Amino acid sequence: MKPYLKRAWAEVSLGQLKKNMELIKGLNSSGTEVMAVVKADAYGHGYERVCETLAEECGIRYFAVSNLDEAITVRKCCPDAEILILGYTPPEYAHEISQNNIIQGVVSTEYAAALCNSSNDTIRCHIKIDTGMGRIGLRHDKPEDCAKEIQFMCTIKGLSVEGIYTHFAVADSDDPDNVAYTDKQEKYITDTYDELVKLGIKLPHMHFMNSAATCYRNNSRSTLSRAGIIIYGLHPDVSLPVPEGLEPIMELKAVISQVKEVPEGTCISYGRTFVAPHKMKIATVTIGYADGYSRLLSSKGEILVHGHRCAIVGRVCMDQLMIDVSGVDARSGDIVTLIGKDGGEQITADELASMYGTIGYEVVCGISKRVPRIYID
């Protein structure tokens, strides 16, 4: 059987992945290791090959995921890795956490107790502190009060506390108010760690750097750098630059199934939202919103055909879309690029995201499972 049907597919460059990782490592101090965030199927790039490459060829030991299913998937790819679940795992699955040597993010004393009461195993954990994200984690006005709760959690039978961590809300912004807010978040967790040391508790890990902090405010006190979107070559915020050489590792491609000339007045696609203003050459492309190419790009997006930007006309359908190839030598069977480079042109996930009010993260995570991932060096 052929490795993929020549319809719509994503090409993932493992070579560029390795280059990105070397760049990211170079941003960190010698005491900080990269924790690769590979949740959501490695941000849509595919767990198995991405995790294997990171572990075996890039020397990555730490991985972060969203849930237990993801953790077990990564464990199968990387048997010796340290894997942290950032999100919630029901306490009744505590045995599976321990059995697979997973580290669980713990958000409260009550949750820690529930995990330990559900299993006779030792539960490894990092404790999440809400320093201003307002999402999950311990929340206290003063670092010393937070440290005292962590001190108590360290006495819970069956709980092995190995670190504390937090998540920045606006580290991807250079607005002075947002910079000050991130400064405050960072100071809170480092002060909490220092209070723990005063209490005689010296944990192996304290981590707070996400992709944005890794790029823009690297701090040697963070033992781990939780690199996520930058691994895959996208911007934490499209308005701020990333280090030179950091490039997207995924390209999304499809083929032209038919090319035809249509007269003035021809309606294209559902709803008759596009009517040809003159004679045009229209190509049908074998990709649609069921593949993760958003319907919000209808009559907005562009696709690269032989190095030319060709506008989408009419609504994006479930499995197909139409583009204006007037003036381009386009034929049935030609490969087109929806995300990636062709000739001197490039379309990025961030560019598509800006067209319909989202972020590049959502674009790559949204490419559906029916689109095969093809791995190249």
- For each of the chain's 377 residues, which pLDDT tens digit applies? 355 567 999 999 999 999 999 999 999 999 999 999 999 999 999 999 999 999 999 999 999 999 999 999 999 999 999 999 999 999 999 999 999 999 999 999 999 999 999 999 999 999 999 999 999 999 999 999 999 999 999 999 999 999 999 999 999 999 999 999 999 999 999 999 999 999 999 999 999 999 999 999 999 999 999 999 999 999 999 888 899 999 999 999 999 999 999 999 999 999 999 999 999 999 999 999 999 999 999 999 999 999 999 999 999 999 999 999 999 999 999 999 999 999 999 999 999 999 999 999 999 999 999 999 999 98
CA triple 286-248-61, angle to 5 deg: 120
Q: Which of 39, 43, 181, 361 is catalytic?
A: 39
**How many Å apart are CA 327 and CA 257, to the nearest integer?**
18
Q: Is 39 a catalytic residue?
A: yes
Give pTM, 2 decimals. Answer: 0.94
> Phi and psi for 198 in degrees, rounded to 5?
-60, -30
196-227 in b/e burial notation, b at 16+ Cβ within 10 A? beeeeeebebbbbbbbbbbbbeebebbbbbbb
In this prediction, residue 1 carries a pLDDT of 39
Known catalytic residue at 270: yes
How confident is the model at residue 239, as a pLDDT? 87
Does residue 286 contact residue 255 with C-beta atoms inside 8 Å? yes
At residue 136, the pLDDT reads 97
Q: Determine the pLDDT at residue 5.
A: 67
Identity of the amino acid at 43:
Y
Question: Which one of 19, 88, 148, 270 is the catalytic residue?
Answer: 270
